[in-house]
Copies of this chain bind each other. A is one copy, B any other.
Amino acid sequence: MSRSNPRVLSTLERAGGFASAQEVYRLMQREGESIGLTTVYRSLQSLVNDKIVDVLRRDDGEAIYRLCGDAHHHHLVCKGCGDTVEIEGGAIEKWALNVAKDHGFREVGHTAEIFGLCSKC
Contact = CB atoms under 8 A, between A and B. Distances in A.
A106 B78 CA distance: 9
A76 B92 contact: no
B117 A96 contact: no
Interface in A64-121: 76, 78-79, 85, 87, 90-92, 94-96, 99-100, 103-119
A28 B87 CA distance: 42
B85 A114 contact: no
Q: How many copies does the complex hold?
A: 2
Instruction: Bin chain A's interface residue count.
Output: 20 to 34
B104 A115 contact: no
B100 A90 contact: no
A61 interface: yes
A57 interface: yes
A108 B114 CA distance: 7
Contacts of A119: 104-105
Interface of A: 57, 61-63, 76, 78-79, 85, 87, 90-92, 94-96, 99-100, 103-119
